[in-house]
Amino acid sequence: MITSSPTERRELALLRLSSDLVIVGGGLGGTCAAITAARAGLKVILVQDRPVLGGNASSEVRLWILGATSHMGNNNRWAREGGVIDEILVENTFRNREGNPHVVDTILLEKAVNEPNLTLLLNTAVFEVAKRDANTIQSVRAFCSQNSTLYELAAPLFCDASGDGILGFMAGAAFRMGAEAREEFGEKFAPTAEYGELLGHSLYFYTKDTGRPVTFTPPDYALKDITQIPRWREFNAKEQGCKLWWIEHGGRLDTVHDTEKIKWELWRVVYGVWNHIKNSGQFPEAANLTLEWVGTIPGKRESRRFEGDYMLRQQDIVEQRAHPDAVAFGGWSIDLHPADGVFSEKPGCNQWHAKGVYPIPYRCLYSRNLTNLFLAGRIISATHVAFGSSRVMATCAHVGQAVGMAAALCRQQDVLPRALTEKVHMATLQRRLLQTGQHIPGVPLRDDADLAQWATLTASSELQFSSLKPDGPLLALHDGWAMLLPVTAGVQLDLTIWAEAAAETELRIELRQSSRVDNHTPDVTLEKQVRRLARGEGQAVQVKFEHCFDEARYAFVCFFGDGHIRLRTSEQRLTGVLALCHAANPAVAKSAVQTPPADIGVDTFEFWQPKRRPVGQNIALKLARPLALFGAGNVLNGIARPTNQPNAWVADFSEARPVITLRWTTPQVIARVELMFDTDFDHPMESVLMGHPEGRMPFCARGYRLLDEGGRVLAECCEQHQTRAVIVLSQAVMTRTLLVELERPAANVPAALFEVRCYTTANP
């Protein structure tokens, strides 16, 4: 028993902790920064004021995690972010393809607590900062109400990933709130004050069918008159969760200090909306529905943005400007909302896409005036317009990873964040990020420690891509469809497809390419042809183009018809080859052609994107000359996803257990092998609500074996679903030959591999 005598006051329990890096905020930016830094060897403290990780992605708020794939609604092919966020999304899709938000929580927590270098403080809010000098943070104080403990957390480096930027704000970092004027950065899409300069908060609700009628009595504070919401007719009994993102409010208020006020208004709206659905008599289908969950913590979109040495701006996104210090990338549209939110007469958002993904420079990821403060998440150094794109969570996570790795390098080199902009450090930072799965557009991995770079490669087979069997369903040509085919210099496409016509008609065919070699927007038409089709089935249509490609890139063979035509598809699927549909994804675009108003600095172009599985089959075809672009050498080219080429070794369809062999002239000591598989970087893997048809990606090898020259099995995995396999051998081996044997995903999908790397040490 504890007894105590009365006294005037008592002190809280105080715990002083120190580490290499303190990260404030456990949203996806902070969480991915913490895991990356901890894996890179730093002692990290991650402080999160709520009971679980994920911020807006957690079960408390329930937003689906999105990024450059843009819901599969623009032309950013194979654009899902790499590294830790990829690992999280792939794992979530594997374990939780139904999109249960609680499972997302478990995965994030599991990833964090599995890191021995990471100290996780949940339910612990940072509220005070101590500085060593005007430009340096020394420590922060945080309080956990659950264990009534005060923490003092000291470190040489800090990262603010708190969304509102509590640490940067208190420590005196330069920041902004509200929109920049058009003139400051020459941003033509800068909003007017009338449209609004801040995005508001939102609260979601989930419903459940109880199987019998349920009544609903709204609380007194619920909105009584639904017509106060100009778009009230759009509510229906089916949509819930993040589909109702436009229940938004607060863009005219102080989105930091008025948050509680905004929350009450959002509750008023949510319960008013539910009252309308349950009690207006307009939705008999809602009779058995009950409210299963209503958010209690509003999802915050925007508040402070901090200033780094560079501010990302509209032109960086639209023109996809290159930066020597690129460490991450974005690809969501520039997505601004009217400040009046749900009470606005205007559409809930104004989204403008770029023709491809854009690099994010490292100079946006640290404070310009505090020497030891990194920025991660939505608060990075970006203008209001650029923030409209960089704010989505997979992008926040990707920049968080760059920060985590940068912090590790800073500690190793004993330098402060700004010093990493020096060329030699930047090359190291980019290399380390690429080694851990980060994708940086235009920056291939050059890794001198990788023994595979010195090996001679052979493969049991290399796909000579000559056909996609006509064994799939017929595809009606209501919209334009295209096959996205990789080509190299000297290729002239000559192919046959199979069509069926309900009446005599014309099939229009176009050969297109993208104006930028690494984009997938078919904005350059190279050739046009027309074929007359007679009424009837199974008509072979030969399409021979004159155009000869002069570099490695993707070609678009586009087909247009009048609705009478159906094309035969194939059940065969293949890494780096896709069928695309010219259509709008209403979740992120208003029409199949982006048509911005004049003078907002945004391009007009067409959207062509794949359909989600289980549909989205390739168009069956036969090539007169096979495309030999899937050779074993691709695993050494430093790019671990399709870009302007598939960048994968792909075996023949017929091989169930193909083998790639690495041979060295002298015996090598190998302690660690890394493999990169195809987990479909085109798949956005929305984390909640939506659900997905499969947990394991169809292009991912089922398993693998590593064997030495004597045929001894060094490592084996029968259940591969992740993108990266990091194999630390139980004992290093000395060998002249390493065989990597893959188990083909399925009879209709050949085995593929993006990367093999071998190291002499377990921790290179």
Interface contacts to ligand FAD, rule CB under 6 A: 24-30, 47-50, 55-56, 63-66, 125-126, 161-164, 166, 201-202, 242, 245, 299-301, 377-378, 391-394, 396
Residue 345 CB, shortest distance to ligand FAD, in Å, is: 20
Question: Nearer to ligand FAD by C-beta: 141 or 418?
Answer: 141
Residue 74 CB, shortest distance to ligand FAD, in Å, is: 14
**What DSSP string describes 66-109?**
--TTGGGTSS-TT----THHHHHHHHHHHH-TT--HHHHHHHHH
What's the rounded Cα separation, in Å, for the pair 736 and 757? 15
For residue 634, give Cα distances in angstroms to 422, 574, 727, 753. Answer: 30, 15, 20, 9
Three-state SS at 613 = coil
Tell me how crowded residue 131 is: count the other CB atoms within 10 A of its CB: 15
Question: Nearer to ligand FAD by C-beta: 245 or 664?
Answer: 245
Token duo for residue 153: 């957390």
What's the rounded Cα separation, in Å, for the pair 667 and 320? 45
What's the rounded Cα separation, in Å, for the pair 525 and 519? 14
Residue 291 has φ and ψ, to the nearest 5°, of: -75, 120
Mark 295-313 as b/e (b = at least 16 C-beta within 10 Å): beebbbbbbbbbbbbbbbb
Give kind and range of the element (H or E) at residue 410. helix 393-413
Question: Nearer to ligand FAD by C-beta: 392 or 706?
Answer: 392
Question: Nearer to ligand FAD by C-beta: 59 or 461?
Answer: 59
Q: Cβ(411)–Cβ(366) under 8 Å?
A: no
Give kind and range of the element (H or E) at residue 334. strand 334-336
Please state the length of the chain: 764
Owner of token pair 């193909």: 658
Question: Nearer to ligand FAD by C-beta: 52 or 452?
Answer: 52
Three-state SS at 420 = helix
Three-state SS at 390 = helix
What's the rounded Cα separation, in Å, for the pair 5 and 657? 75
Question: Nearer to ligand FAD by C-beta: 29 or 73?
Answer: 29
Residue 633 CB, shortest distance to ligand FAD, in Å, is: 36
Question: Nearer to ligand FAD by C-beta: 245 or 454?
Answer: 245
Residue 155 CB, shortest distance to ligand FAD, in Å, is: 15
Question: Nearer to ligand FAD by C-beta: 378 or 573?
Answer: 378
Residue 125 CB, shortest distance to ligand FAD, in Å, is: 4
Cβ-based neighbours of 233, under 8 Å, separated by 6 or more: none
Residue 297 CB, shortest distance to ligand FAD, in Å, is: 8
Owner of token pair 């949940």: 122
Residue 265 CB, shortest distance to ligand FAD, in Å, is: 14
Question: Nearer to ligand FAD by C-beta: 396 or 451?
Answer: 396
Question: Nearer to ligand FAD by C-beta: 137 or 749?
Answer: 137
Question: Nearer to ligand FAD by C-beta: 64 or 358?
Answer: 64
Residue 124 CB, shortest distance to ligand FAD, in Å, is: 6
What's the rounded Cα separation, in Å, for the pair 494 and 512? 14
Question: Nearer to ligand FAD by C-beta: 163 or 576?
Answer: 163
What's the rounded Cα separation, in Å, for the pair 166 and 304? 9
Residue 566 CB, shortest distance to ligand FAD, in Å, is: 35
Question: Nearer to ligand FAD by C-beta: 27 or 616?
Answer: 27
Q: Cβ(410)–Cβ(441) under 8 Å?
A: no
Residue 250 CB, shortest distance to ligand FAD, in Å, is: 10
Residue 218 CB, shortest distance to ligand FAD, in Å, is: 22
Q: Cβ(601)–Cβ(188) under 8 Å?
A: yes
**DSSP E strand boundaries for 424-534:** 456-459, 465-468, 474-476, 480-487, 494-501, 505-513, 524-533
Residue 755 CB, shortest distance to ligand FAD, in Å, is: 27
Token duo for residue 597: 């108003």
392, 362, 388: which is closest to 375 by C-alpha?
Answer: 362
Residue 202 CB, shortest distance to ligand FAD, in Å, is: 3
Q: What is the dihedral of CA 36, 40, 45, 48, to 10 degrees?
A: 0
Question: Nearer to ligand FAD by C-beta: 67 or 480?
Answer: 67
Give kind and range of the element (H or E) at residue 473. none
Residue 412 CB, shortest distance to ligand FAD, in Å, is: 25
What's the rounded Cα separation, in Å, for the pair 202 and 313? 25
- Among positive and negative, which fits the CA dihedral 675, 676, 678, 684? positive
What's the rounded Cα separation, in Å, for the pair 52 and 27? 9
Give kind and range of the element (H or E) at residue 326. strand 326-330
Question: Nearer to ligand FAD by C-beta: 55 or 703?
Answer: 55
- Among positive and negative, which fits the CA dihedral 689, 695, 696, 698? negative
| Greatest alpha-carbon span in the chain | 99
**DSSP E strand boundaries for 477-599:** 480-487, 494-501, 505-513, 524-533, 536-544, 553-560, 565-570, 578-582, 593-594
Question: Nearer to ligand FAD by C-beta: 26 or 745?
Answer: 26
Residue 120 CB, shortest distance to ligand FAD, in Å, is: 12
Residue 676 CB, shortest distance to ligand FAD, in Å, is: 24
Q: What is the Cα gyration radius of the chain? A: 27
Residue 405 CB, shortest distance to ligand FAD, in Å, is: 17
**DSSP E strand boundaries for 302-363:** 305-306, 326-330, 334-336, 350-352, 358-361
What's the rounded Cα separation, in Å, for the pair 759 and 733? 11
Question: Nearer to ligand FAD by C-beta: 245 or 293?
Answer: 245
Question: Nearer to ligand FAD by C-beta: 28 or 37?
Answer: 28
What's the rounded Cα separation, in Å, for the pair 687 and 101? 8
Residue 259 CB, shortest distance to ligand FAD, in Å, is: 11
Owner of token pair 């120190």: 18
